[in-house]
Structure 1
Amino acid sequence: MVFVSRHDWVTELDSLPNYYPMVGVPHQITPVRLKALRDDARARFAGDGRRVVAVFVGGSNGAYLYDDKTHKHIGDAIKHLEAEGWRVLVSVSRRSEEETLHSLLKLRSANINVWDRNGENPYLYYMAAADGFLIAKDSITMPCEALATGKPVYSLDLTQIPGPRLEKFEFYHRDLAETLQLTKPFRGKIESYDYQPLNETRRIGSIIRSALKAAV
């Protein structure tokens, strides 16, 4: 059995009975796992009850470029959210370049918390504390993880690098936003909306279990 992300799917696979499409990638984030951390996370990052948005950024990947334009765009979005009354928790990824981290650290304030890569990675605590998410478009995994929460997930545009890799990423984000109606593009506001939380790990597991039972 082969599970292929929808943005990697090709028509030749339609006729193969052992191939299955999946949304993005499976992962280990679950509501139960985050619920166990939420009280501690809220106490650490939002003890005053302020709304929390987690902002996750990555790095240049052949489809998107973290240049000065992208850094300014991310910074403007973060400062705008702070002005809107959000407490902003910002995390870089392993792919993030030092220039990206430095540009984010300049934004630190009483309401903007930026992980500086020192100490324990607070990613799970950021997720547990969050009431909404703003995620840079260079990641496939982070939107899938955030969509497990049922909280609003918004995507942030970056400087594009034209080519087949960009087309694949843009298809992924159009699929999430337009076809599946799971995410929304960021236009200055983060607002609640309804969707069925994504749990591809559980769905894939159920397909495998059913196939194993049928084979006995």
Structure 2
Amino acid sequence: MQGLLGVLEADANQIAKMARETFDRDGPLLVVASGRDTISVASSIRQLAPESVFVVQIQHPRLNLNRFDLVITPCHDYYPLTPEAQDQIPWFLRSWITPREPPDSNVVLTVGALHQADSAALRIAASLWHDELAPLLKPLLVVNIGGPTRNCQYGEDLAKQLTEMLLNVLWSCGSLRISFSRRTPEKVAKILMKEFSANPKVYIWDGRGSNPHMGHLAWADAFVITADSVSMLSEACSTGKPVYVVGAERCTWKFAEFQKSLHERGVVRPFTGKEDISETWSYPPLNDSAEAASRVIEAAAKRGWITHA
């Protein structure tokens, strides 16, 4: 395999132009793309030379899956349209939902979201954040807080609940570090900051300076994560460390299905505030990105392309 083109959320015409230039220069071309325009892009690109272009779509395009050589998407995108599900999904979106059925052979189902927090990236992060995080008292509990979504709604009520639960487990923590995302409402952040900002055991990242997220993944002994974020949960569950979820009962639609899947696999537990953070537990880490990459290499190899992992 000589040419590789990766495009996320780019203009359809721009992608097609880039693909043509790369194909003319390098020959056989692997295109990895995600976005709203990728169906038309896939059709355009494959006209270059059907047997010499391999198009991989990341996330469910909803329509025309046969336009792609591979579609890599989470299992919860195959959400069953039960009566309860129909109550949760607006009528104008129902035609976009894929009912639970065996997918075609070109569809690769993952448990969670694809991400870059693999073992190599975490080793680098562990080194980069060594001086700041290695000296901290153990166990280190990292709390990642996202923000409410249409399918996982919460506000000050969950913030107050989470604050009380963290206070209850703080005795068992050597250190506690809290991070907010860009989606975290100010009123949610203020509740936790008011309670913990003066506590010597606790560090709250305020968004200034380098984002410690990768360092936290590398050095944490356990995580507490709000249920709204598929990506944060997917990353934490790839570490094999204890992951506690807060707010899962508020999820609806396919996000509830995602929470159910994690729970059934034993990779997460609900956060109750009664935990002893020093007591660890483990599970087979999620390895979606590596497994998806293997499927891409395997499929390309069937075409006789030379691949290098």
Q: Answer yes or no: same fold by TM over 0.5.
A: yes
Q: Give me the whole-angstrom Cα distance separating, in 2, the residues matched to 1:17 and 1:31.
A: 29
Q: Give me the whole-angstrom Cα distance separating, in 1, the residues matched to 2:225 and 2:111.
A: 17
Q: How many residues align?
A: 211
Q: Which amino acid aligns with 2:252?
A: L
Q: Is the 8 A contact 2:74 2:112 kept in 1?
A: yes
User: Hey, what does 1:172 align to over in structure 2?
Assistant: 258
Q: Decide which of 56, 71, 78 is 2:166's aligned counterpart.
A: 78
Provide closer, same or farther for how the CA distance between residues 46 and 211 of structure 1 changes in structure 2, counting only shifts above 3 A. closer
Q: Is the 8 A contact 1:104 1:114 kept in 2?
A: no
Q: Which amino acid aligns with 1:63?
A: N
Q: Decide which of 48, 51, 56 is 2:144's aligned counterpart.
A: 56
Q: Is the 8 A contact 1:50 1:87 kept in 2?
A: yes
Q: Is the 8 A contact 1:46 1:52 kept in 2?
A: no
Structure 1: 5+ residue runs without aligned partners?
none
Q: Give me the whole-angstrom Cα distance separating, in 2, the residues matched to 1:68 and 1:159.
A: 16
3-state DSSP class of the match of 1:28?
A: coil
- Which one is further off, 6-15 or 47-56? 6-15
Higher relative contact order (CA 8 A, sep 6+): 1
Deviation above 6 Å: which 4+ runs of structure 1? none
Provide closer, same or farther for how the CA distance between residues 212 and 46 of structure 1 changes in structure 2, counting only shifts above 3 A. closer
Q: Which amino acid aligns with 2:247?
A: D
Q: TM-score, normalised by structure 1?
A: 0.88
Q: Give me the whole-angstrom Cα distance separating, in 1, the residues matched to 2:282 and 2:240.
A: 8
User: Hey, what does 1:184 align to over in structure 2?
Assistant: 269
Percent identity reads: 27
Q: TM-score, normalised by structure 2?
A: 0.63
Q: Give me the whole-angstrom Cα distance separating, in 2, the residues matched to 1:64 and 1:12.
A: 22
Larger Rg: 2
Structure 2: 5+ residue runs without aligned partners?
1-69, 79-97, 305-309
Q: Give me the whole-angstrom Cα distance separating, in 2, the residues matched to 1:130 and 1:91.
A: 13
Q: Decide which of 10, 24, 49 is 2:112's aligned counterpart.
A: 24
Q: Give me the whole-angstrom Cα distance separating, in 1, the residues matched to 2:124 and 2:185.
A: 32
Provide closer, same or farther for how the CA distance between residues 71 and 158 of structure 1 changes in structure 2, counting only shifts above 3 A. farther
User: Hey, what does 2:52 align to over in structure 1?
Assistant: none
